[in-house]
Structure 1
Amino acid sequence: MQCYKALQPISVFSFDLDDTLYNNQPVIAVAEAAMLQSLLQHAPITQRCDSEFWWQQRRILAKAKPDIRHDIGRWRLLGIEAGLIELGLTSCEAGEIAELAYDAFWQARTTISIAPDVTQLLTELAKQYQLIAITNGNACIKKMGLGDLFAFSLQAGPDGRMKPYPDLFLTAAARLNVKPETILHIGDSHRADVLGALKAGCQAAWLDHYQQPVAVLPHIRLNHLQQLQYFVVTEAI
């Protein structure tokens, strides 16, 4: 762990989810496969359409409606619907099948196993601090089995613009009735997590998986999540 700035007293630990508490890449791969399988089942015309096709549909949609990016779930749903219409389905058919395909994606996307050592770390931190989650994604802390440890989870889209906009951090501070500077946000993305937290006046801990150079420093840089054990205060015997 490297410290770049003096830490202020902390009352809240805020966690990003994807690629912070778990490896998100295999989760998304399984979810994409579930989406494609559902599309094939309900719309055989999609047989030759791979994930790249559906990504291009989302890109086209985002060019027309840039703000849709702030809600990645709705963005994906509407992208599926747009792609089905392009393939020749009626708007009604496309809407119904898109809902089924997105549900298949979401069910797989929110089936996430948290490593026991991560759960133990969070359990120890929750005894001394309030824990919250702030994510640009749509993972579900309750489905992960972490619901009892976190006060709440805020998600880009339903709860505000995505990080690095300060919306979600400021909403969290207001809901907890704390000053932003008492929140330490931990995340793997320098742009979303570090810059977002700093813009909102929060403290930032960067989980740097790849040892990247940066221009704007966080308060601390972590090599692995377990370094947060530093903040677990044990009682003297």
Structure 2
Amino acid sequence: MHSSSPVRPGEAEAASLEALQQLRHSGRIRAISIDLDDTLWPIWPTIARAEAVLLDWLGEHAQSTAAYLGDTDRVRALRHEINALRPDLAGDPASLRRESIRLALTRADEDTALAEPAFEVFMAERQRVQLYDDALPALEFLARRWPVVALSNGNADVQIIGIGRHFQAALSATGSGMAKPDARFFRAAAEAVGVAPEHVLHIGDDAELDAKGAMDAGMHAVWLNRGQLAWPCVGAEPHVTVASLWQLCQGLADR
């Protein structure tokens, strides 16, 4: 949605619905790609809970490491530190998390073989997400009309979470060697459901990684802007901005 002058919320919503209807009836949308973290569920409460569970496990099995880490703030700080120490793992959140645990064990002079079971504990909790109220109805709506592919820089597993039936494919940065906003990653999503990028509608919450990345890859883009923020990127705004997945489905409904 493009505008150089202020638009009142009601007008913005009407414009978004109209833009979605135009896309719906144009025949240009033949598949959907959709982000996961912060699009279908809030990610930081999930990560905070998983880090707390990790600390509890370390407290039982690696007490010196648990004492070295202290709290979830230190767990997260070490996770950020490993980003700089291991640039070769950029875009692979699972490996980065595993290596941050290994680094903590090393610094606490404890058995680094514990990194793997500790990581598994973290990952099990990381898959326990709380979907936004509009997420499951939106997935059901979209999957009835188009093939849907998950496209995530995170390491959530849609099968473990229990929403896999709505997806024909699921791509994550872990193990793929690619991450948004890399245009190759978006094109891989299109290939996974057998359509050209210009026939894919990508939906995601991140302005840079999702909306701008999708447009740069030749896709149509919906920016899910739950916080109703100003467009933060340089260049063209996304094709459509919505405040919720409810609004998205309303705009894409048969009329």
**TM-score exceeds 0.5:** yes
What amino acid sits opposite 1:192 in the alignment?
L
Q: Which 10-residue stretch deviates more, 54-63 or 170-179?
A: 54-63
What percentage of residue pairs aligned between the two structures are identical?
Answer: 33
Counting only pairs closer than 5 Å after superposition, residues 95-114 of structure 1 correspond to structure 2 as 96-114=113-131
Indicate which of 46, 54, 58 corresponds to 1:39.
58
Indicate which of 127, 141, 151 corresponds to 2:158.
141
Indicate which of 60, 77, 88 corresponds to 1:67.
88
Number of the residue aligned with 1:85: 106
Q: Distance in 2 between matches of 1:35 and 1:191?
A: 31
TM-score when scaled to structure 2?
0.83
Q: Distance in 2 between matches of 1:145 and 1:178?
A: 26
Which digits, 9 at most, give the CA deviation of each residue in 1:49-87, with x for residues without a partner? 123333333333322332312001110101110121011
Cα distance change, pair 130–60 in 1 and its aligned pair in 2 (3 A)? same
Q: Distance in 2 between matches of 1:139 and 1:175?
A: 18
Secondary structure of the structure 1 residue equivalent to 2:165: coil
Structure 1 portions without partners, runs of 5+: none
What amino acid sits opposite 2:136 in the alignment?
T
Q: Distance in 1 between matches of 2:216 and 2:134?
A: 31
Indicate which of 191, 199, 221 corresponds to 2:208.
191
Contact 1:114 1:144 in 2 (8 A): no
Q: Distance in 2 between matches of 1:144 and 1:64?
A: 31
Q: Distance in 2 between matches of 1:174 and 1:81?
A: 36
Give the superposed CA RMSD: 2.0
What amino acid sits opposite 2:66 in the alignment?
Q
Cα distance change, pair 24–58 in 1 and its aligned pair in 2 (3 A)? closer
What is the count of residue pairs matched by the alignment?
Answer: 230
What amino acid sits opposite 2:240 in the alignment?
I
Contact 2:33 2:148 in 1 (8 A): yes
Contact 2:36 2:151 in 1 (8 A): yes
Contact 2:154 2:174 in 1 (8 A): no
What amino acid sits opposite 2:97 in the alignment?
R
Number of the residue aligned with 1:152: 169
What amino acid sits opposite 2:160 in the alignment?
K
CA positional deviation for 1:117: 4.3
Contact 1:13 1:131 in 2 (8 A): yes
Indicate which of 5, 14, 20 corresponds to 2:39.
20
Contact 2:127 2:161 in 1 (8 A): yes
2:241 matches 1:224: no
Counting only pairs closer than 5 Å after superposition, residues 158-173 of structure 1 correspond to structure 2 as 158-173=175-190
What amino acid sits opposite 1:163 in the alignment?
K
Contact 1:38 1:100 in 2 (8 A): no
Which digits, 9 at most, give the CA deviation of each residue in 1:98-148, with x for residues without a partner? 112111111011012435643222212211111111001111111222111
2:208 matches 1:208: no
Q: Distance in 2 between matches of 1:199 and 1:106?
A: 32
